[in-house]
Amino acid sequence: MATKIYNLKTIQLLNGDFIDLVPLKIKYLRQLMEEFKNVENISNDENAIDVLIKCAAIAMKQYYPVITTLEEVEDVIDLKMVYDILDYAANIKIKKDNNDEKTVSKLSENEKGYGWDELDLAKLESEVFLLGIWKDYQELESSLSMPELMATLAVSRELDYEEKKFLAAIQGVDLDKNNNKQNEWENLKAKVFSKGKTVDGNDVLALQGPTAKKAGFGIGFGLDYEDLTQK
C-alpha cells in the first residue's frame, strides 16, 4: 500500500468555500506555536478560545489567504473548525470526538505543545539546507511543513548512509553488519516467502521456492541431498 507524508482533510467554510487542511509550512507553524503559548497562562476558557481563534487565523494565511483580518476569519469558521484547523495544522488536539466537551483549561502538557520548545529545529533545517535546494532558510520554511522536513531529512540520511556503505564495501567493511542494520525490503520479502515465520532476510526460512532457486539452495527448492541408506 502506498504511503503518505501526512493526512489531509477538506472542510467547507461558513461562506461555502472549501479549503484543504494540511500541516502548516514551518513559516506559519512558528507563528502559530508562539501564539499558542499564551494558552498556558489562561484559566478562563473564553479567553483561551480567543487565543485559539488567533491561532486559526494564522493557519488561514496558508489555507485561505484571501482573508486578512481576524474579523474575516471569525466570519467563515466556527469553533469545531478551529479545533480541526489546529489538529491538522499543528497536531494540536483539543476536541477528540463529538462527545468530548474538553475545554482548553483541561489540556494535557502534550496537547499544550510543550515539546515545540524542546525541538532543535535550527539543527534539522541546517541538515536539510545542505541539499542546496533553497536559497535561504526563509525560503525553506516557506516550502516545507514539519512532516515534509522530517521525510526529506530521513531520505537524505538514508542516501548518505548508502554512499558511505558503498565506499566502506570497497574497503571490505560491511556497515550493515557493524550497525546491525537490516534491509527493510529484503526483510519484507522474507516475511512473505516464509509465510510469516520470519522477518529476517538472513533467516534460512526466507529461502524457499523461487527465491531459493535464485540463491542456489533453500527449503523446498534446489536443496538436493543423497540418501546414503540406499547404498
pTM exceeds 0.95, yes or no? no
Nearest to 22 by CA among 53, 54, 64, 52: 64
pLDDT of residue 228: 42
Of 8-12, 82-86, 170-174, the one with minimum mean pLDDT is 170-174
Of 125-134, 138-147, 220-229, the one with minimum mean pLDDT is 220-229
Provide the H-helix boundaries in the chain: 26-36, 45-63, 70-76, 79-90, 115-118, 121-129, 137-143, 146-170, 175-179, 184-193, 209-215
| Of residues 36 and 205, more confidently modeled | 36
Domain spans in the chain, listed from the N-terminal domain onward: 9-118, 122-178, 182-230
Write the CB contacts of 138 (distance below 8 Å, at least 6 apart in sequence).
Answer: 27
pLDDT of residue 223: 40
Render pLDDT for 33-90 as a digit per residue (tens, 0 to 9). Answer: 999 988 888 878 888 899 999 999 999 999 999 998 999 999 999 999 999 999 999 9
Query: Is it the case that residue 105 has pLDDT exceeding 60?
Result: no
